[in-house]
Amino acid sequence: MSSLLSTEQKLVQTANLKASVSVKTKPHRRKRIAENRHSDFRRSESHLLDSTLPMPILDDEDTAWKHLLHQSIETPEEVHEKWGEDIETMKTLEKEFNIRINPYYASLIKEKNDPIYLQVVPSKNELIKGCCVDDPLNEERDSPVPSITHRYPDRVLFLVAHECAVYCRFCTRKRKVSDSSKISLKYLEAGINYIREHKEIRDVVLSGGDPLTLSDRRIDYILKSLREIPHVEIIRIGTKIPCVLPQRITKKLVNIIKKYHPVYVNTHFNHPRELTPEAKQACERLADAGVPVGNQCVLLKGVNDDVETMRALMKGLLKMRVRPYYIYQADIVKGTEHFRTRVEKGLEIIQGLRGHISGLAIPHFVIDSPGGGGKIPLLPHYIEKLDNDEVVMRNFKGERYTYPQVQENPTPAVENLQTIANQNGFQIGAEIQDYF
């Protein structure tokens, strides 16, 4: 393990120092970059892009992230060599979902089966059947054209990239991610046209795969095309890049994004160890460019399923100017049964956050309901009683408080006021500042 870490850390240092390196595709990549990354787009880019746009010029920051991505661990043989995992098991798992672990993210792994390792290194537990399915959110049902999921009235999910900087083993969309025949640039125009034709759409969420694995030129084209549609008010980018390949958040990319405001970024940190100086710089670059950054994390067994880990994560995110947005109960995706916790664990975590850290740091705990019902928020049981007269609640310390319901006669008897005051520990006539 020590030799692995030193190797990965050297690669990261090389990239961060913006060394001059040649970017070459690894010859063993079968259905990955060598065959798919550019071919679909290049066949059709004449009608996708304005031919007057200047061809991209690589600078050192471009070289850095591309070098890291092209040095990724992507085969069963490499996983076996680095971590000693059974090669036949790895070959079986690769048939289910591709492998990619870039050197930057690999450098965060301290030991086998730690919280970083579990998220990206294939495990034999992925073969457990359980109740999991390929498309738990029924996205295909709500897909009027191949690149669009239109579930909520005023917003759509727009899949624009098939690749990610790492392939998370708990991926909800693993049935499509890494497969350029299922998420393809050839569907890009159909998606843009659908959005243009449906005037009820005011909010577009770009996803995939990871949209920020696309070239700057393609990202610019997509954002420009969407911003030119009058009824599109908000553009959101769903990306794990600030967490898993922060070197991709270059000055050039940020300058492209900020041309098309309002643009929001929802990123995906799951563990405090992912909050590195590189990740902080990436998030701050976005924030400095006026891009609000939110975080969506997934509750994962063995990774972040305890209160202290989640507290550290949420507090650390705020320090990086990232607002916690969602904690997702893990979706029932095929091959992820071993990641799932009981729902009570999520409620316990929310209860352990509320009142113990800033309200800014408390996300919504949601289940993206199986079958395509959308996100449903869940809260611990703070209400003990609710009737026509009063609401009886417990606070984060477990102490009981009463709130009087509004009545048709808004002047309750003095004795009722005194009863409520006594229940809540107040004195009639005392100044409110006496209690704060």
Active site positions, annotated: 151-152, 155, 164, 168, 171, 173, 331, 368, 375
Distances (CA, A) of 424 to 80, 249, 252, 428, 430: 62, 51, 56, 11, 13
Amino acid at 334: K
CA–CA separation, 166 vs 100, rounded Å? 5
Of the candidates 37, 196, 171, 36, the residue with the CA atom closest to the CA atom of residue 96? 171
**Phi and psi dihedrals of 328, rounded to 5?**
-95, 130
Q: 280 near 316, Cβ under 8 Å? A: no
Q: 167 near 178, Cβ under 8 Å? A: yes
Considering only CA atoms, give the Rg of the chain. 24
Strands 148-149 and 263-267 come out as unpaired
- Could you give the dihedral angle defined by the CA atoms of residues 262, 153, 135 and 160, in that order, rounded to the nearest 10 degrees? -30
In three-state secondary structure terms, 21 is: coil
**Phi and psi dihedrals of 180, rounded to 5?**
-75, -10
